Structure 1
């Protein structure tokens, strides 16, 4: 299974979503952090935390789309 989005335009939207969720969680902008000064474990914890919330939100969006589609039929 490829990690590439089905729609190339989705990459920009997913990146924006990542920053919005990180902001909601109180995590600073990932691009401004000097990753040379944090451990890979710390970096992985932050990335995993944000990724988990992204997955949760994407599932919620998908569920709403499915519900809306089933009501239209």
Structure 2
């Protein structure tokens, strides 16, 4: 079972901002609150963009 609990509560606002930026970059109309009207593909593209950007940042810092 998935646990969506934020391990560092102070990071929640930053993660939400990051998610909104990633959504904008891939053209997904993500809004604050409920987004159940989005398709799995749209949601997956946001998560994929976030992961891509995190990996790029990690590689820069190596």
Q: Shorter-chain-normalised TM-score: which range?
A: 0.5 to 0.7
Indicate the RMSD between aligned Cα atoms, in angstroms: 2.7
> In structure 2, how many angstroms separate the alpha carbons of the residues matched to 1:7 and 1:34?
23
> In structure 2, how many angstroms separate the alpha carbons of the residues matched to 1:29 and 1:4?
20
Residue among 47, 51, 64 paired with 2:43: 47
Q: Secondary structure at the match of 1:16?
A: helix
TM-score by length of 1: 0.59
Structure 2 gap segments, 5+ residues each: none
TM-score by length of 2: 0.67
Larger fraction in helix: 1
> In structure 2, how many angstroms separate the alpha carbons of the residues matched to 1:4 and 1:58?
19
Q: Secondary structure at the match of 1:30?
A: coil
Q: Secondary structure at the match of 1:58?
A: helix
Q: Which residue of 2 aligns with 1:13?
A: 14
Q: Which residue of 2 aligns with 1:70?
A: none
